[in-house]
Amino acid sequence: MKKIKTTLKQRKNTTQFQLTIRFIGLLISAVLILSLAIMGITVAELYESTEKQAELLEDSLKNSDAKEAKEWQEVLVKNTSKDSSLYLIYVQLNSGEVIYSSDDAEEVFQEFPQLKQFILVDRILWTSEIEPYYYESFKKEGAKVTILIDMEDQFELIGRIFSLTIFITLAVIVFGSLVTHRFSKKLSGSLVIMDEEINQLNISDSKQQLTIPKTPQEVQNISKSFNQLLVKQRIYLKREQQFVTDASHELRTPIAAIRGHVNLIKRRGVSHPEVIPTSLDYVDKESKRLELLVEKLLLLGRLDTQVDTESVDLSLMIQQTVEELKVMMSQEVILNIESGIFVEGQAEHFYQIARNLLENAMKYTDAAGTITVELFSDEATIHFIVEDSGMGIPDEEKAKIFERFYRVDQSRSSEIFGTGIGLSIVKELVEKYQGAIAVTDVLPKGTRFVVTLVK
Ligand code: ADP
């Protein structure tokens, strides 16, 4: 029962149903208003023409010289000669004498006291057989003249117009409903197909897409946008899957190393205690690597969360980051920072950009080297440069270092603590702000990272 109810409710909410109902409503109102207007005008016209006929008759009778009964008789016959059953006249002379225009008139006037009158149209009287008569009465030199004009024909005409209007109204409603129903079905049909296709869509099958209908344009646009979204979603999904695989792989390596050394201590710790300090060193180093890796992975997850942006004092932030790292730096640091440079965004993001680049410069430059940090802006751009006199990056590796988990020459980097995530975070963040990052060589030795941000 509940299911039927929901389906009915759902049906009522469909565009097709809503469109049909509204169209039918509009159609009925339009046709009814039009019919009523036509009927109203016709009735008014017919009434007016009868009124005019009565006036003409009244004028003609008033202008006659009739005084005596005989003269009246002649005048009445003359005036009703066109149609004696249509114009019925009754004259009551001062003397009490009564004259009728015809036998029909006499018959109707006999019934006169019982004729019915309605408030709004008090000029129309109704017989017991529901025959309408227009009524007019006046006095001429003591004679009381009453005119009745038969309105049966007019009412018959109104009746015919009324039935015809009802018939046309019904026909238009039936035909109109059918047309609107079919039209709205055609309109919403493509939406129904789209819904079915979405339900059956397999996101991991890269070939599957929505069919793009020719009409209506709106649905065509939605289908196109949906397909574009699908492509983006699939790329995103693939990247995520790749990331999970890479991350698990990266996490497994230090864990395996830790377990290996723990087993070694267990097996040979007692008989060869000299292995313990070296193994513990490894365990310490690998667990630190794990800690750092987890920290960076968590950071990666946090990057996409939407937080309100603010105006960040980039000059101050970079200076503070350098200060923070300085205690660990054995290299000479040259600072060239223009003050008062602000950017719109999340402070954490700019801190991560600066920290990762500075940490790398520290890690890959020997103690006697130099690290130069520059920040300046021109009209439209902000430039942030971290330059070192370290080991440098071979040309063929330059593009790869921004990939997740990529480290230049594992054997070379193995001595230096790292995860291979830092630069991928930096690149992602810079691009989030429509900026760019470039890496170039420094001669004779070293690397320069240039971050450009739009002001
Ligand atoms: P990591 O944690 O290994 O430093 P990054 O993503 O920050 O990870 O860097 C990726 C790789 O790029 C590093 O492993 C290193 O080989 C290279 N690299 C990054 N910065 C520098 C630099 N300033 N000088 C030389 N090599 C660098």
Per-residue confidence (pLDDT) for residue 38, from 0 to 100: 87
Q: What percent of the chain has pLDDT over 70?
A: 96
Name the residue type at position 354: A
Residue 229 is assigned to a structural domain of this protein: yes
Degrees (nearest 5) of the Cα angle 159, 160, 163? 85
Q: Which residues line ligand 1 (CB under 6 A)?
A: 356, 360-361, 364, 388, 390-393, 401, 406-408, 413, 418-424, 447
pTM of the model: 0.55
Same domain? For 151 and 218 the reply is no
Among 189-193, 320-324, 349-353, whose mean pLDDT is lowest?
A: 189-193
What separation, in Å, do the N-terminal and C-terminal C-alpha atoms of the chain show?
62
CATH classification of the domain holding 421: 3.30.565.10
Same domain? For 437 and 322 the reply is yes
Same domain? For 22 and 152 the reply is yes
Same domain? For 401 and 438 the reply is yes
**Residue scoring higher pLDDT (264 or 242):** 264
What's 215's DSSP letter? Answer: S
99 CA from centroid of ligand 1 (Å): 127
Residue of 393, 414, 415, 437 best suited for mutating to test ligand 1, as the one with most atoms within 8 Å of CB: 393
Cβ atoms within 10 A of the Cβ of 130, count? 9
Question: Per-residue confidence at 301, pLDDT binned at 50, 70, 90?
Answer: confident
Which residue minimizes the CA distance to atom 16 of ligand 1? 408
Domains: count for the chain = 3
Same domain? For 12 and 44 the reply is yes
Same domain? For 113 and 146 the reply is yes
The domain of 294 spans: 204-302
Residue 405: what are its φ and ψ, rounded to 5°? 70, 5
Residue 432 is assigned to a structural domain of this protein: yes
Helix axes 314-326, 347-363, angle to 10 degrees: 40
Same domain? For 233 and 110 the reply is no
Tokens 């130099």 belong to which residue? 370
Say how many CA atoms lie within 13 Å of 383 toward its Cβ: 13
Per-residue confidence (pLDDT) for residue 249, from 0 to 100: 80
47 closest CA partner among 136, 129, 128, 115? 136
Rounded CA-CA distance 293/125 in Å is 103
Name the residue type at position 114: Q
Q: Which two tokens stand for residue 419?
A: 């995860």
Residue of 364, 370, 395, 398 best suited for mutating to test ligand 1, as the one with most atoms within 8 Å of CB: 364
Q: Which of 279, 302, 325 is the last residue of a domain?
A: 302
Same domain? For 9 and 152 the reply is yes
